[in-house]
Structure 1
Amino acid sequence: MQNFARSHTGGGRERAIPEPTTGGAAGEDEFRVDVERIRFSPYFSRLSAVTQVIPQAGSGTTVHNRLTHSLKVSAVARSIAVGFRDAPEAARQIVADLGGCDPVVVQAAAAAHDLGHPPFGHLGEQVLDRAARNRLGLPDGFEGNAQTFRILTALDSCDATARGLNLTKAVRAAVLKYPWTRNEWRSLPPQPAERLPRGVGSDSASGALKFSAYSIDALEMADVLSAFPAIGTHQQTLECSVMDIADDIAYSVHDLDDFYRAGVLQFTAVSAELNGWLQAQSALAALEPGELMAGVALRRPGYALEAAWRHTYAKDSWIANAEAFRASVVRVTHDLVEGLLTIPYDGGLEADRAVSAFTRRWIDRLKGSIRVERTPNVRSGHVRLGSDAWHDVVVLKFVHTRFVLDRSDLAVYQRGQARVLETLADGFHLWLNDADDAARAPRRLIDSIEAATAEYRELRANAPEYFAAVGAGTSDRDIARFGRSRAVVDYIASFTDAQAMSVAALISGTSDNLWESGRSL
């Protein structure tokens, strides 16, 4: 049996700055140091006040935030990693050959994976990306995964270094869900999404949709990945794959828990959609695209699920299967719609027992399907869900999107949140470009500008091709502008939901509560 504590003998335990060993079991203590540094980070504590999917306001403490989500991802991920110890010999050999899968590394990556999320959940990520590219002139914009890597390697600090947490390469690599930069794809000809890694998208001229490092941090990402020569280009490490799968499981199941408890998921609507598709599958499959999308717009039962299936098959024909998809729809209909949703959540013991049983049943089912592959499909990882479970997750995510994210009342709320982030980006950008008043900007922001500008100067000296790839200038003025803009994005992304709203009110002149803003700027 592989000694997991002694995995990563090829450089995964290296840190950017060597530190004294802490004693104890070789390998284990240094990875536990990483876990503790992440969990004690203010960026980690902040997650308790950042939206996961739906806001906690008005829903009480039953709704997950980014912190509780991260803790559950960590628990699921560790369970999967520990399970490899009892896997068949062939699977354990693959794990060993690809660099190992240490449960503590997996825990650390899971704890860190959402550090980079800005205020207001995924909506905040999209808005801040647009603001970064269109308002602040950053070619690689904003991305939550890239921000996570930046926090761990540059923005946070510890006793060993003022820039970054000085984590082991194994842990830094384990957060690289999309191990590339946005702009490295721009020079490639357009390709269908199914031929590209998951997250890249098909519009290569605009760069990757998802990525794990900004250009400013690209050299560090390349150095980290060099410790895993057996992992192919654009592939996650084993520990990263486990974290990614655990994130999918927690999102698919625990967020349904949220929506049920908050009264957002309604039996009638979900039942009509899923049963409508099951009863009219053949007729729906024969619809032309225009007819189908018209039915989606009119919210005709079954039409949205048929559109979701077609989209899934177009991207992932390597695994998507019509019979397996139908079987998953039947399973979800039986267990979620005809099971859990028939018991209205009233806060009582029966409802709590029902949701707990549902959650445990589905998490165990999904964890039990895990597969390890030496040569995965380009859109998969070395660790993946089995076919049936993969389709289950697709259907569960559809329920999230159709009956929660697409709700008009949530959309109205999110439009206001978007305005908050736009106000912050415009306000700080204008302030820092006001030569007469820029010096009065918050001290932390000024320090961040100096550090980011120095990083861009270093990138210009060591890898000017990252500027050339997007036609960006490299004059001192350009470098100063990039440093200023990246610092503004770093600063806004570090806010909690409440801090973002408070500071936006201050900088727009709509608040008179200067000393009660809830934040020391």
Structure 2
Amino acid sequence: MTKDDGHRPEHELVRLTSGDPRRHARLVVPRHARGAQDTRSEARRDRDRILYSVAWRRLGGVTQVVTPFEDMALMHNRLTHSEKVAQVARSIAERLLHDKPARELVVRLGGIDADVVEAAALAHDLGHPPFGHIGEITLDKVARGLLRLPDGFEGNAQTFRTVLLGETRSNDYHGLNLTCATLVAIAKYPWQRDPTLKDDHRAKLRNDANYRRRWRKFSVYRSEKDDFDKAREFIADIEGFLPDTQSLEASIMDVADDITYAIHDLEDFYLAGILDVRAVLDELRLDEDDGLLRKLRDRLGIDYPDYFSEDLFAKAVKVVKEELKASFSAKNDGGVQTVGRARSAGSKLIGKYINSVEISDDVFWTHGPYIALDAEAWHEVQLLKEVTKNFVIKRPDIALLQRGQQRILRELVKYLLRWKNSNADFKRLPRRLRDEITTYAPSGGNTNRCILDYLCTLTDGQCYALYYKLSGSRPAASPMDLFL
């Protein structure tokens, strides 16, 4: 026997999972014949299926936060963002599995498979629509209004629907036919959306943490709830896991997504000249009665009353300001030293936060995960995410572009809905949309959701092209455009 020094080879790390066979089950087709030379685990096969999917390749043309233009510095799209989430997530998983005390908790709480973590991180944005976050907001409004879909639209729920039903990989089954462990790990918000309250909806959204949590974000539509519950059966028997608790692998993916969004987008926007760090530093003042920090502090206090700390928040403000001053405050002149300083700072922060992720024998906050950033790092990441939200997404010049993108999505839904409901012209609908409607109709579901499914197969550029054709404002740019 050899002494356990806390380090194990990769092939042993990925085996540190629950022996429950339900983790490795596939909901659609239980097992597939594989060649004798295929030595991959079921989780590694999941990862490869995602990488070979059309839905994955599409992400290269989908906005992450801000739609980039040719004369701007290269910025992340959904694909490059997902690649980095996968790298950060796998690093977190392997670090936890190398730590002996953490491994003991991992085993008790159901296990971690590093391949499942990576697969879920690669897949977590597959259902997100064109035009980034503004696309999500717009499609949710038209879904609950014009399309009469009670649970609206949400990118995470659309992702689950995409991997379960939407991607055509074989004529023998729908979707990617992933294992239950990977399906569950994709679900950052393992619940359905609460029905909208007619009378006090706005008040509840402002003040009720549980209502905010279950209405704003969710990972499953009603139409896929039975499959979702079946996938989560292996978690139900683990002591301490409630219906709303993420799997360990989902928690790792979730925290990796936060770290990546907080750091890589900050780098992007600074180097693209979009983020004015000096303006950020002026805003980060704790004495402001109605500034960014007050609003963020109030929101975190409502949503995380048993994890948020006023003292740690004030400390996080100092840490973030010092980091911004040291690495991002100088005007970006495109020089090698400026770029190098920013990239080095980003790398250092990524490493810091990866090493700040912990596993606990109890959830970190009510309805929360068993794996999360430690309290100090968590407050810093929340603040960094808010910087991107307030100083990039809400910029007036970005708003001009986004309002145009909102209009395109709203008009496309109207055009496609009228065309779908036209008996005389239904057969000339885009083939993918028509096929999904005819497949979905026998189940008795609302086929209007198929319009959203179709739009979520398009890149930003394809969305523009489809709008130009349907509005008659521009002909197809090439013969291939006709096949949208």
Name the residue aligned to 1:220: 227
Q: Say which of 507, 512, 519 aligns to 2:470.
A: 507
Name the residue aligned to 1:474: none
Name the residue aligned to 2:368: 380
Name the residue aligned to 2:128: 117
Which amino acid is the alignment partner of residue 131 of structure 1? V
Q: Are the equivalent residues in 2 in contact too, given 1:193–1:315 (CA < 8 A)?
A: no
How far is 1:162 from its partner? Answer: 3.4
Correspondences of 1:77-92 after superposition (within 5 Å): 77-89=89-101, 91-92=102-103
Name the residue aligned to 2:279: 269
Decide whether aligned partners of structure 1 residues 509 and 517 sit closer, same or farther in structure 2, where only a CA change above 3 A counts: farther
Q: Are the equivalent residues in 1 in contact too, given 2:14–2:115 (CA < 8 A)?
A: no
Which amino acid is the alignment partner of residue 441 of structure 2? T
Name the residue aligned to 2:104: 93
Which amino acid is the alignment partner of residue 407 of structure 1? R
How far is 1:326 from its partner? Answer: 1.2
- SS of 1:257 mapped into structure 2: helix
How far is 1:353 from its partner? Answer: 1.2
Deviations 1:295-320 (A, max 9, x none): xxxxxxxx222222122222222111
Which amino acid is the alignment partner of residue 342 of structure 1? S
Name the residue aligned to 2:33: 20
Name the residue aligned to 1:208: 215
Name structure 1 gaps, 5 residues minimum.
293-302, 458-478
Deviations 1:118-163 (A, max 9, x none): 0000100110111111111111111100111111110113247331
Counterparts of 2:337 and 2:409 in 1: how far apart (Å)? 41
Are 2:156 and 1:169 aligned? no
Name the residue aligned to 1:50: 62
Deviations 1:307-351 (A, max 9, x none): 221222222221111121111111111111x12223332332212
Q: Say which of 339, 352, 363 aligns to 2:350.
A: 363
Name structure 2 gaps, 5 residues minimum.
1-5, 7-11
Q: Say which of 374, 386, 389 aligns to 1:398.
A: 386
Q: Are the equivalent residues in 1 in contact too, given 2:190–2:244 (CA < 8 A)?
A: yes
Query: Under a length normalisation based on structure 1, what TM-score does the superposition of the two structures give?
Result: 0.84
Q: Say which of 27, 37, 40 aligns to 2:49.
A: 37
Counterparts of 1:86 and 1:25 in 2: how far apart (Å)? 27
Counterparts of 1:517 and 1:56 in 2: how far apart (Å)? 23
Q: Are the equivalent residues in 1 in contact too, given 2:187–2:219 (CA < 8 A)?
A: yes
- SS of 2:328 mapped into structure 1: helix
Name the residue aligned to 1:251: 261
Deviations 1:413-458 (A, max 9, x none): 100000010111000000111111111111111111022223x33x
Are 2:115 and 1:104 aligned? yes
Decide whether aligned partners of structure 1 residues 167 and 267 sit closer, same or farther in structure 2, where only a CA change above 3 A counts: closer
- SS of 1:371 mapped into structure 2: strand
Q: Are the equivalent residues in 1 in contact too, given 2:328–2:342 (CA < 8 A)?
A: no
Name the residue aligned to 1:132: 143
Of residues 344-353 and 36-45 in structure 1, the stretch that sits farther from structure 2 once superposed is 344-353
Of residues 417-426 and 379-388 in structure 1, the stretch that sits farther from structure 2 once superposed is 379-388
Of residues 388-397 and 56-65 in structure 1, the stretch that sits farther from structure 2 once superposed is 56-65
Counterparts of 2:404 and 2:268 in 1: how far apart (Å)? 22
Counterparts of 2:407 and 2:476 in 1: how far apart (Å)? 20
Decide whether aligned partners of structure 1 residues 398 and 514 sit closer, same or farther in structure 2, where only a CA change above 3 A counts: closer
How far is 1:408 from its partner? Answer: 0.7
Correspondences of 1:465-480 after superposition (within 5 Å): 479=445
- SS of 2:127 mapped into structure 1: coil
Decide whether aligned partners of structure 1 residues 195 and 305 sit closer, same or farther in structure 2, where only a CA change above 3 A counts: closer
Are 2:155 and 1:144 aligned? yes
Name the residue aligned to 1:309: 297
Counterparts of 1:317 and 1:488 in 2: how far apart (Å)? 39
Counterparts of 1:109 and 1:194 in 2: how far apart (Å)? 32
Name the residue aligned to 1:72: 84
- SS of 1:181 mapped into structure 2: coil
Q: Are the equivalent residues in 1 in contact too, given 2:244–2:367 (CA < 8 A)?
A: no
- SS of 2:41 mapped into structure 1: helix
Decide whether aligned partners of structure 1 residues 71 and 61 sit closer, same or farther in structure 2, where only a CA change above 3 A counts: farther
Which amino acid is the alignment partner of residue 244 of structure 1? D
Counterparts of 1:63 and 1:370 in 2: how far apart (Å)? 27
Counterparts of 2:482 and 2:15 in 1: how far apart (Å)? 42
Query: Under a length normalisation based on structure 2, what TM-score does the superposition of the two structures give?
Result: 0.90
Decide whether aligned partners of structure 1 residues 186 and 212 sit closer, same or farther in structure 2, where only a CA change above 3 A counts: farther
Correspondences of 1:190-209 after superposition (within 5 Å): 201=212, 208-209=215-216
Number of residue pairs aligned between Structure 1 and Structure 2? 464
